[in-house]
């Protein structure tokens, strides 16, 4: 908890790049996606993936997928300590081997500020790499009074078209993220939250701009 709180102090919750302030993201050329996938029945080994896509064409420019040993145990609320070290290694490898392909922003399969202590995987990775990061989750993390109850399901059903959203406001009054209908043909939304060096509004616009299907291409790839 102390380490989490120390790193949490480094999170920047606003846009820091010129391309983020542009309606069409002019100047954004490379978007990365990261994910860790586990083998069923074996949580000690995982496939760590970093993919970089061109923007706005969303064509794969770089991919690094490798099996890794995961040594830290899973503890709820501290998943980043288990997963982020191998993702940082993947980013460092890219910076050394193909520096010209470094992503200008990373989409992370997980949460950012939408976390019991406001410091999910997307924040953790962002602070350690100092890259803008966005948390993109497929399920609602039930924190700060947020619950997947009938009211929540009704709000989700009210999202009729791609791009429609509603804010996730916790019991504390803080907006922790945004629920986004990312694709017309999917009624299941995404849960977008700030990771590092990006505002929530920009994060949502970016995720939507990267979606051909429900899950944004950098993470899907």
Predicted pLDDT of residue 74: 87
pLDDT digits over 204-221, tens only?
Answer: 999 999 999 999 999 999
Distance, CA of 75 to CA of 122 (rounded, Å): 17
Nearest partner of 7 among 108, 158, 109, 130, judged by Cα: 130
pTM of the model: 0.96
Percent of the chain with pLDDT over 70: 100
Predicted pLDDT of residue 76: 87
pLDDT digits over 16-29, tens only?
Answer: 999 999 999 999 99
Predicted pLDDT of residue 73: 87
Task: List the end-to-end C-alpha distance of the chain, in Å, as a whole number.
Answer: 33
What is the DSSP secondary-structure string of 24-71?
T-TT--EEEEEEEEEETTEEEEEEEEEEEEETTT--EEEEEEEEEE--
Residues facing residue 49 across a β-bridge: 35, 65
Quickly tell me which residue has 């890794």 as its tokens.
68
Average pLDDT score, the chain:
96
Nearest partner of 108 among 86, 129, 123, judged by Cα: 123
Predicted pLDDT of residue 134: 98
- Mean pLDDT over 104-125 rounds to 97
**pLDDT band at 168; cut points 50, 70, 90:** very high
Predicted pLDDT of residue 172: 95
DSSP three-state, residue 186: coil
Task: List the domains of the chain with CATH numbers.
Answer: 1-219 (3.30.2170.10)
**pLDDT band at 43; cut points 50, 70, 90:** confident
For 87, other C-beta atoms within 10 Å of its C-beta total 25
Provide the greatest CA pair distance for the chain. 49
pLDDT digits over 146-167, tens only?
Answer: 999 999 999 999 999 999 999 9
pLDDT digits over 74-84, tens only?
Answer: 898 999 999 99
Percent of the chain with pLDDT over 90: 94
DSSP three-state, residue 187: coil
């Amino acid at each position: 908890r102390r380490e989490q709180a120390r790193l949490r102090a480094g999170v920047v919750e606003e846009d820091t790049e010129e391309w983020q302030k542009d309606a069409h993201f002019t100047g954004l050329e490379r978007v990365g996606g990261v994910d860790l996938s586990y083998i069923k029945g074996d949580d000690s080994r995982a496939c760590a993936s970093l993919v970089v896509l061109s923007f706005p064409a969303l064509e794969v420019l770089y991919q690094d997928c490798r099996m890794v040993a995961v040594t830290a145990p899973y503890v709820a609320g501290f998943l980043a300590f288990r997963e982020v070290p191998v993702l940082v290694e993947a980013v460092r490898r890219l910076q050394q081997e193909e520096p010209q392909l470094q992503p200008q922003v990373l989409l992370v399969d997980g949460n950012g500020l939408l976390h019991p202590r406001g410091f999910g995987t997307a924040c953790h990775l962002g602070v350690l790499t100092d890259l803008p990061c966005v948390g993109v989750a497929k399920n609602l993390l039930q924190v700060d009074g947020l619950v997947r109850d009938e009211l929540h399901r009704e709000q989700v059903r009210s999202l009729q078209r791609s791009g429609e959203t509603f804010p996730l406001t916790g019991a504390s009054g803080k907006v922790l993220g945004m629920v986004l209908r990312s694709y017309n043909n999917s009624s299941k939304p995404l849960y977008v939250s700030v990771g590092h060096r990006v505002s929530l509004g920009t994060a949502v616009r970016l995720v939507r701009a990267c979606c051909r299907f429900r899950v944004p291409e950098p993470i899907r790839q």
